[in-house]
Amino acid sequence: MPELPSQIDELNENIEVIDKQLIELLAKRAEITTKIGEHKSKAGSPIYVAEAEAQIITNRKSEAKRQGISPVLIEDLMRRIMRESYHTQSAEFLCTNPGIRKVVVVGGAGALGRIFVDLFERSGYKVAVLEHSDWDRSDTILENAGLVLVAVPIKLTESVIARLTNLPENCILADITSTKQKPLNAMLNVHQGPVVGLHPMFGPDVPSLVKQVVVVCHGRESKQYEWLLQQVRNWGGVLQQCDAKEH
């Protein structure tokens, strides 16, 4: 015998109550993950730890199986929930090198440059931006810089690097260009201090660096820029070492 409309309405009302409870639980979970993010920031712990995420998903899939729910469904759901929780944890980050007096992002007004300006500022660094209209006062902008990050279009990268002849001796020179060998060689030629090539494997539309791969091509004095690599890890980035020629 078909169910009466009133019975269906009652069942739908029950589902609506459960849906509201799910939303309330997600809101409570978000509050907790935000607090977790604050503690991680103070401790300097990375937002994303692959092993921890994998263990959480394994545990939730096992529980789903015991409850007669599809483990595949729960894995999809948990990955989406955790992706959102990573974003709630990334308001501020621990500064891995408070001794750095200034970070200069060359091309910091560009789409990808702005991402790194924001990340460094949220990590407590003093950040300055050097754009094409600022070269007449570049000496002032670059003065006391502990890190200069070149974030300009690839066609301009080498010519911009060639102009960076007045960097402080111990300043780290880095770039975020997609090709690495020529820019890395250009940096090594123009600056005698620490040099490293980076390639973020993502576009300017990413909401955060969580789970985003950043290729690292070592140049010179790697110990001097280890703090920078750790800072990227704190932002949630996944570092992948690569030879500049191979990349």
Q: Do residue 116 and residue 236 come from a single domain?
A: yes
Mode of pairing for the β-strands spanning 213-220 and 195-200: antiparallel
Residue 90: its pLDDT value, please? Answer: 59
Q: Do residue 66 and residue 120 come from a single domain?
A: no
Residue 177: its pLDDT value, please? Answer: 93
Q: Which two tokens stand for residue 68?
A: 């007669």
Q: Do residue 108 and residue 229 come from a single domain?
A: yes
Residue 247: its pLDDT value, please? Answer: 59
Q: Do residue 203 and residue 173 come from a single domain?
A: yes
Q: Do residue 155 and residue 234 come from a single domain?
A: yes
Q: Do residue 161 and residue 84 come from a single domain?
A: no
- The verdict on residue 7 lying in a domain is no
Q: Do residue 107 and residue 63 come from a single domain?
A: no
Count of domains forming the chain: 2
Residue 127: its pLDDT value, please? Answer: 97
Q: Do residue 114 and residue 157 come from a single domain?
A: yes
Q: Which residues of the chain have pLDDT under 70?
A: 1-4, 41, 87-91, 247
Residue 148: its pLDDT value, please? Answer: 98
User: Are the C-beta atoms of residues 147 and 174 closer than 8 Å to each other?
Assistant: yes
Q: Give pTM, 2 decimals.
A: 0.77
Q: Using alpha carbons, list the distances in angstroms from residue 112 to 63, 201, 214, 242.
A: 41, 11, 13, 21
Each residue of 183-213: pLDDT tens digit? 999 999 999 999 999 999 988 888 788 889 9
Instruction: Count the Cβ atoms, other than its own, within 10 Å of residue 132.
Output: 11
Distance CA 182, CA 175 (A): 11
Last residue of a domain, one of 33, 62, 89: 89
- The verdict on residue 61 lying in a domain is yes
Q: Do residue 136 and residue 213 come from a single domain?
A: yes
Residue of 209, 197, 201, 215 lying closest to 234 (CA atoms): 209
Last residue of a domain, one of 89, 111, 138: 89
Q: Do residue 71 and residue 149 come from a single domain?
A: no
Q: Which two tokens stand for residue 36?
A: 């977790």
- The verdict on residue 17 lying in a domain is no
Range of the domain at 65: 50-89
Q: What torsion, rounded to 10 degrees, do the Cα atoms 83, 84, 86, 89 define?
A: 180
Residue 143: its pLDDT value, please? Answer: 95
Residue 115: its pLDDT value, please? Answer: 93
Q: Do residue 85 and residue 181 come from a single domain?
A: no
Each residue of 63-88: pLDDT tens digit? 999 999 999 999 999 988 887 777 66
Residue 2: its pLDDT value, please? Answer: 57
Q: Do residue 143 and residue 82 come from a single domain?
A: no
Q: Using alpha carbons, list the distances in angstroms from residue 242 to 116, 144, 181, 236.
A: 21, 30, 11, 19
Last residue of a domain, one of 36, 58, 89: 89
Residue 47: its pLDDT value, please? Answer: 75
